[in-house]
A = this chain, B = another copy of it.
Amino acid sequence: MTRITMDNLHDFIRGTAILGTGGGGDPYVGRLMLEQELVKCGGIELIDPDDVTDDIFAISVACMGAPTVFVEKLPNAQATITAMRKIEKEVGRKFNAIIPLEAGGINATLPLVVAAQTGLPVIDGDGMGRAFPEFQMTTFNIYGVKCSPFVMADDFENTIMLETDNALRTEVYGRAVCVKMGGIAQVASYAMTGEEVRRTCVPRTVSLAVDIGKTVRELRVAGQEDICEGLADYFATSNPPRFSRVLFDGKVQDVIRGTEDGWTVGNVTLSSGDERDEMFITFRNEYSQAKLNGKTVAIVPDLLFILDRETGEAITTETLRFGQRVKVIGVAATEEMRTEQAIEVIGPKASKIAEPFVRLEDLAWRAEH
């Protein structure tokens, strides 16, 4: 695939909502924003990371904040462009490509909206391979791309430029301002060269979103009884193939949710139809750990989806509610997200979980033996 157009828009949006792993906000908002642009420009060009040349100078754009706030306050593409221009002025060089920060949620869509408005192409890859709650949790950071200069902008075009020695500090300082901006801020950061794009991004995640959305749609059209099983099967043939399993089938029993220091934090308890089994999933913007009857069956950075069991549509942390019939799918993170280096930055410890990271496939093997 080389373009996002009106033809694959709905598949793409459905896929980004699922790759949001619970975070990233309402996909509906992202679709409206992108649809408006596609009507005008026809399509947005994607560049495969393997085809990225050395003359590429890419910028990552995103919306910072808690999904509970996104419900009330839309992301602002114009302010994002303001942030991006500010970095261009600082580094004295124009960007010629946009690279998504996240593969899921509104932050998978916003880069395309910005690309449409600035006439730039989008790199088919991102820095998270899913969504994560913090700005340092990127393969860009893990593999040495500098987060600074990092510019935030609010709706009034006020800007804040952070230049720090590490991405975690940027996250801490930036988050504090984000809260004061009303819990949402537009951000440009991780300016990078073509070489850095090729070396550090999680490749082909824009296409992945389209493929996931398409898979769900086709299963639905085909009248497939178990869409979630079908989606888990899809990952056996994705590029690269990944381990994936349906981990639970049941209904939402209880949801604890709050907005804390700028994040949507809480947990959800699911119970099986016969009420014999219970799944407990914690989240911090995104789903981070699933326990089946007290035993961990999936943990960050591996991906957790909670999907509507009939339609296969994503259920995000802020839309969880009592009684929803859901299935939970676990998907292995890509290899670049599972190195020792990566686990330090995006593993359980970074999400304040005391347990060590164990691969989804190993947890499944243990459960079965």
Chain A residues near B (Cβ < 8 Å): 156-165, 169, 172-173, 176-177, 179-181
Residues of B within 8 A of A157 (CB): 165
Residues of B within 8 A of A180 (CB): 172-173, 176
Name A161's closest neighbour in chain B (CB-CB).
B161
Contact of A177 among B156, B163, B165, B176 (CB under 8 A): B176
Q: Are B163 and A159 in contact (CB-based, < 8 A)?
A: yes
Contact of A156 among B165, B172, B179, B181 (CB under 8 A): B165
Contact of A165 among B158, B160, B165, B176 (CB under 8 A): B158
Name A172's closest neighbour in chain B (CB-CB).
B180
Residues of B within 8 A of A169 (CB): 156, 158
Name A160's closest neighbour in chain B (CB-CB).
B162
Q: Are A173 and B181 in contact (CB-based, < 8 A)?
A: yes
Give Cα distance in the complex from A164 to B154, angstroms. 9
List the number of copies, as a whole number. 2
Q: Are A163 and B158 in contact (CB-based, < 8 A)?
A: yes
Q: Are A177 and B173 in contact (CB-based, < 8 A)?
A: yes
Name A152's closest neighbour in chain B (CB-CB).
B173
9 residue pairs A–B, Cβ–Cβ below 8 Å: A156-B164, A156-B169, A158-B162, A158-B163, A158-B173, A159-B164, A161-B161, A173-B177, A176-B179
Residues of B within 8 A of A165 (CB): 156-158
Name A158's closest neighbour in chain B (CB-CB).
B164
Sorted nearest first, the 8 A-B pairs with minimum C-beta distance are: A176-B176, A158-B164, A161-B161, A176-B180, A159-B163, A173-B177, A160-B162, A172-B180
Residues of B within 8 A of A162 (CB): 158-160
Give Cα distance in the complex from A161 to B158, angstroms. 11
Q: Are A160 and B181 in contact (CB-based, < 8 A)?
A: no
Give the Cβ gap from A173 to chain B, nearest Cβ, in Å: 5
Q: Are B158 and A160 in contact (CB-based, < 8 A)?
A: no
Question: Quick one: given A176-B177, A181-B173, are A161 and B160 in contact (CB under 8 Å)?
Answer: yes
Q: Are B156 and A173 in contact (CB-based, < 8 A)?
A: no
Residues of B within 8 A of A164 (CB): 156, 158-159
5 more A-B residue pairs beyond the given contacts A159-B164, A173-B181, A176-B176, with a C-beta to C-beta distance below 8 A? A158-B162, A159-B161, A160-B161, A176-B177, A177-B177
Give the Cβ gap from A90 to chain B, nearest Cβ, in Å: 9
Give Cα distance in the complex from A176 to B177, angstroms. 6
Residues of B within 8 A of A179 (CB): 176
Name A153's closest neighbour in chain B (CB-CB).
B163
Give Cα distance in the complex from A177 to B156, angstroms. 19
Name A86's closest neighbour in chain B (CB-CB).
B163
Residues of B within 8 A of A163 (CB): 158-161
Name A178's closest neighbour in chain B (CB-CB).
B176
Residues of B within 8 A of A181 (CB): 173
Residues of B within 8 A of A172 (CB): 180
Residues of B within 8 A of A177 (CB): 173, 176-177
Give Cα distance in the complex from A181 to B172, angstroms. 9
Give Cα distance in the complex from A174 to B177, angstroms. 8
Name A185's closest neighbour in chain B (CB-CB).
B173
Residues of B within 8 A of A156 (CB): 164-165, 169
